[in-house]
Each structure stands twice: as structure tokens, then as C-alpha cells.
Amino acid sequence: MKRVDKSLIIKCPRCGEENFKTQKKCSDCGLIFDRLNYVSNRAGKIAVVKREKENILRVTKWPSDAKKGKALLLCGFLGLVGAHNFYLGRYLKGFFSLIVTLVACVCILLENVIDYASFYENFFFLPTGIMFLMWWVDFILIASNKYKIPVALDYLYPEKVKKNKKSKKNNIKEKNIKNNIKNKEKLQENNIINIQEFKNEEKKE
């Protein structure tokens, strides 16, 4: 059997099926690869919160609204509380890190009240170890562009803020157009062509 060059193969972010880069869609789930140009992490986070798994894609290519540098800084300095996971929409991992860190802090503060050593050894050693391992693994994955970021198609979750801004801009434009029409009508009524003459006429009024 002939070996296929791995650089010619792309994994489908939805089903994990291997496809040739020349293919337009996944041979297994039918995902059209061109649509990956119209995804965002913002939409992916909304899909995660709504638990709409069928709309979530996990990609290693950084979307335009998620910054690798910011994620690395959050992971490096606030990774113990899962800040990078919250930033990128991996909320379960983020909550796990946050809860384990908070419980560890409480145990340290109450060291004189409870037998911290036996409690840590019996109940808390494993989750703390897993949390530290996740922290370092995430940092390496983010740095090497292998961290899986949840994304979704933008048109499935339209951004309301942008729409409001656009509507405000459109309202301002409409008002300006109406004012211009009124001004032109006044110019025509008074047979004034020059704008300066129009201003002088207004002052007289």
C-alpha cells in the first residue's frame, strides 16, 4: 500500500475523519470546509452555553476574535483558576480548575483547624495533580497551536450589538438625508443656489 503524505490530509473538526485538502467537504459528515472561514469563537461560546453540540466545531486554527497571545498570558499567570479556558469557551475545564484551586486555598487557610495533611493525602491529592497537569498541558497546546478552540458559524448566532450599532447609524443617516431634503426644498422655494446665501436667508428669518 502507498503511504499518503500527511501534509496533504486535513482532519474534519466535526467528526475527525481524514480528508484530502483538495476536497470541498468531509466525506463522512458532509461539512463544507469553506464555511470554516465564517466561524468565530464568540458564536462557539454561545453554542457551548446553549448546549447545541451539533453546531460546535473544535478547531486548532485561531479564529479572528480569539488571540493566541492573550490566551498564553491567561494560561501562564491565571491558569490555576482556568482563566484561559473561560476566555476560549472551555467552561467545564475552567470550572474544574477554579473549584479545585478555591478548595485548596480554603484548606490552606484552615490548616490549623483541620488535619490538612491527611485530608490532602486522602481526598485532594489526585484532583490537584490533575489540575496542575491540565494547566501545563494546556500551555504547551496553546503555544504549539494544538489547543482545540470551540467555534460556530456566525450566521447561526448573529451579534445583536453590531445590529444595534448599525441601526443607530442608519437612523442618523436617515435624519441627515431628511434634513438635506428640507434644506433643498427651502433653497428651491427661495430661488437660492449658493449655500452662503441660504445661511444669510435663515439669519434674516
pLDDT for residue 10: 87
More confident residue, 103 or 192: 103
β-bridge mates for residue 32, sequence order: 25
Contact 55, 165 (CB under 8 A): no
pLDDT for residue 91: 96
Using the predicted structure, report yes or no on whether residue 162 has a pLDDT greater than 70: no
**Residues constituting the chain:** 205
| Domain limits, the chain | 32-156, 161-204
pLDDT tens-digit readout, 89-115: 999 999 999 998 998 888 777 766 666
Give me the helix-helix angle, 125-143 and 68-78, nearest 10°: 150
Using the predicted structure, report yes or no on whether residue 140 has a pLDDT greater than 90: yes
pLDDT for residue 62: 94
Closest by CA to 88, choosing from 48, 36, 135, is 48
pLDDT tens-digit readout, 54-83: 899 999 999 999 999 999 999 999 999 999
pLDDT for residue 1: 46
User: Is the pTM above the cut of 0.85?
Assistant: no
More confident residue, 64 or 159: 64
More confident residue, 97 or 183: 97
Share of the chain above pLDDT 90, in %: 40
Contact 71, 84 (CB under 8 A): yes
- Across the range 11-30, mean pLDDT stands at 89
